[in-house]
Amino acid sequence: MSVQATFFDGTLPEAHPAEIYLDDEVIRITYASADGFPHTDTWLVKKTRLADWHPAGKTRLQYGSFPHQYLDFATADYQAAVLPRYAGRPLTQVSKRLWVQERGFLTVLLITALLIALAWGLYVYGLPALADRAVELIPPAQEQKLGEVLYKQVISEERLPVDPARTQWVNAYWQAVGLPTRFPGQITVVKHNEINAFAIPGGHIVVYDSLLNRMSRHEQLAALLAHETAHIEYRHSLQQLTRSVASYAVLSLLFGDVTGLMAVLIDNAHSLTSLSFSRDKEDQADAFAVEALARQGIDPQGVVWMLHVLPKEGKLGPSALSTHPETTERLAAATKRIQHVRIMAAGAGQQRRLAELWQQIAGQTNKAHH
């Protein structure tokens, strides 16, 4: 097999057009010298190596000791004729080096893409897991202290005016429900035309009066407060808040700076009003509400009634409730659970007390409409 190349004899810088004949063990080079006479040189394949530098568009082979002889092949000719001929021989080493040289840029791009994908995977999946781990390391007492600061921060930043009368009656109602919880529930009713309610880590629950005004029976209020209490008890609110500032929060925790972690969370307190919970967490909170109401002798149908007062899908504003799973799905799941739950008998005194407190709350609601 023969192929065209350019030959340098190693003594003069002249380039000689040459005919290259490829045999199993040797490469024969035929060219015309400066005096016009034909010459033939023979290279042993085992002593032929890739040169350290290549002219543009060429593949350069070198032979022997200094001063080296050189052959310049068009790179396409080299890959088509020379490499296949000597597959598995010493020139195979050359081919690997050539491939790295020619494909190096693509290799760098591929490695970069893989690193970016890995970084994105860590950001999407790793950081949330680390953020949840960070929450586990926060003691409940510390969470309560954080909750107090977050509560004051969000009320101030969002300029939510507190309704003192309804706040007093709703807290009295929740105490009468008597649901045992790890964190003491503290409810605040605020004046706002948005239909919303949200839980703050450590025990605070904020209810917008526009949502309260939609309710017609006390079981709806009990269901709402039990649902938000579940987010606190299961630390959903703290998990979501920590995830939203995961990069800063995790770094603070990794360096043992719990104070720094708290500062980051406080700086992002405003996001509590619109935290988005996953379907699993919302389902968990609804299940908690059904079981809690039944255990306290309150009709768990209140969960269904509460869901009915929420805006229908597609009509929700930018509130926390707008990010919940579709109401129809939650209604179906709650209805199914109620069919299998056992409702405990409540004392007549408790039932009367809850009804009286609801009348006070409903009366305050009616006053607000006039």
Structural domain span for residue 61: 2-101
Specify the number of domains making up the chain.
2
How confident is the model at residue 256, as a pLDDT? 59
143 in any annotated domain: yes
Q: Tell whether 147 and 266 lie within a shared domain.
A: yes
Q: Tell whether 151 and 298 lie within a shared domain.
A: yes
Q: Tell whether 156 and 293 lie within a shared domain.
A: yes
How confident is the model at residue 120, as a pLDDT? 59
Q: Which two tokens stand for residue 86?
A: 């000597």
37 in any annotated domain: yes
88 in any annotated domain: yes
The residue that leads in pLDDT, 301 or 54, is 301
Q: Tell whether 161 and 85 lie within a shared domain.
A: no
The residue that leads in pLDDT, 119 or 294, is 294
Q: Tell whether 152 and 76 lie within a shared domain.
A: no
Confidence of residue 64 (pLDDT cuts 50, 70, 90): confident
Return the number of other C-beta atoms located less than 10 Å from residue 130's C-beta. 19
**Distance in Å from the first CA to the final CA of the chain:** 103
How confident is the model at residue 357, as a pLDDT? 95
Q: What would the mean pLDDT of 2-18 be, rounded to a whole number?
A: 86
The least confident of 33-37, 56-60, 334-338 is 33-37
Looking up residue 14, the CATH number of its domain turns out to be 2.30.29.30
Task: From 101, 124, 151, give the residue that closes a domain.
Answer: 101
Q: Tell whether 59 and 177 lie within a shared domain.
A: no
Q: Tell whether 340 and 220 lie within a shared domain.
A: yes
Q: Tell whether 18 and 154 lie within a shared domain.
A: no
Q: Tell whether 68 and 154 lie within a shared domain.
A: no
119 in any annotated domain: no
Q: Tell whether 93 and 199 lie within a shared domain.
A: no
How confident is the model at residue 315, as a pLDDT? 37
pLDDT in tens, 135-159: 787 888 989 998 998 999 899 888 8
Taking all residues of the chain, what is their mean pLDDT, rounded to a whole number?
A: 81
Q: Tell whether 88 and 185 lie within a shared domain.
A: no
pLDDT in tens, 181-231: 999 889 999 999 999 999 999 999 999 999 999 999 999 999 999 999 999
354 in any annotated domain: yes
Confidence of residue 85 (pLDDT cuts 50, 70, 90): confident
How confident is the model at residue 314, as a pLDDT? 39
Q: Is the pLDDT of residue 261 over 70?
A: no
168 in any annotated domain: yes
Task: From 84, 101, 118, give the residue that closes a domain.
Answer: 101
How confident is the model at residue 243, as a pLDDT? 75
Q: Tell whether 165 and 273 lie within a shared domain.
A: yes
Please state, for a pLDDT cut of 90, what percent of the chain lies above it.
Answer: 39
Task: From 101, 121, 152, give the residue that closes a domain.
Answer: 101
Helix/strand/coil (H/E/C) assignment for every residue in the chain: CEEEEEEECCCCCCCEEEEEEECCCEEEEEEECCCCCEEEEEEEHHHEEECCCCCCCEEEEEECCCCCEEEEEEHHHHHHHHHHHCCCCCHHHHHHHHHHHHHHHHHHHHHHHHHHHHHHHHHHHHHHHHHHHHHHCCCHHHHHHHHHHHHHHHHHHCCCCECHHHHHHHHHHHHHHCCCCCCCCEEEEECCCCCCEEECCCCEEEEEHHHHHCCCCHHHHHHHHHHHHHHHHCCHHHHHHHHHCHHHHHHHHHCCCHHHHHHHHHHCHHHHHHCCCCHHHHHHHHHHHHHHHHHCCCCCHHHHHHHHCCCCCCCCCCCCHHHCCCHHHHHHHHHHHHCCCCCCCCCHHHHHHHHHHHHHHHHHHHHHHC
65 in any annotated domain: yes
How confident is the model at residue 364, as a pLDDT? 64
115 in any annotated domain: no
The least confident of 19-28, 115-124, 177-186, 231-240 is 115-124
